[in-house]
Amino acid sequence: MSDVKGDNYTKFDSPTMRALLGAEWKGKVRAIYDTYECASLAAGSTIKVGKLRKDEVFLTGWVIADDLSSAGTLALGDGTTADKYLAATVFTTAGQVTQAAAIGGVGDKATADKDIILTTATEEMIGTIKVVLLIAAPN
């Protein structure tokens, strides 16, 4: 049996680093909510649904949608990596809720302001998309 500390807990445990952590330790959690109504939205389209400001940290989020198509996918990312927060996921069940918690995106700290973007793929979509994001902001 081991008794270990997480990366940020280790930093917090050091009095010098505690002040430098910012949003990673006891930051303020903020919610971003957005909705978009698709009316024949073409595959390859992008929908800006939020913004991660400099020094904010992406925690998690959820994409909730109608049955959008028979095979259309949604991915959630930033301007650099289309699926940083949610890998391409098919939304074929009305009311489907999918968590945006990709391992490379949870804990992503912005070094500059960046948009959070849904990207469509495979085929055109019709229906409602809702997004809820949790962001940690510095104190």
Quick check: 18 pLDDT over 60? no
Q: What is the average pLDDT across 114-127?
A: 93
Band of pLDDT at residue 21, cut at 50, 70 and 90: low
Mean pLDDT along residues 81-109: 94
Q: Which two tokens stand for residue 58?
A: 């992406």
CB proximity list for 112: less than 8 A, separation 6 or greater: 54
According to DSSP, the β-strands at 125-137 and 28-41 are antiparallel
Considering the entire predicted model, what is its pTM?
A: 0.84
DSSP string, 26-90: TPEEEEEEEEEEEEEEPTT-EEEEEEE-TT-EEEEEEEEE----SS-EEEEE-SS-TTSSEEEEE
Run of H or E residues at 131? strand 125-137
- The DSSP element (H or E) to which 15 belongs, if any, is helix 15-18
Backbone φ/ψ region at 13: left (φ over 0), alpha (ψ -120 to 50), beta = alpha
Q: Tell me what pLDDT residue 64 has.
A: 96
The architecture in CATH of the region 27-137 reads: Sandwich (2.60)
Statement: residue 69 has pLDDT above 90: no
Instruction: Specify the pLDDT at position 2.
Output: 60
* The two structure tokens encoding residue 138: 């510095």
- Give the residue among 97, 93, 70, 98 at the shortest CA–CA distance from 83: 98
Taking the domains of the chain in order of start, what are their residue ranges? Answer: 27-137
pLDDT at 118 over 80: yes
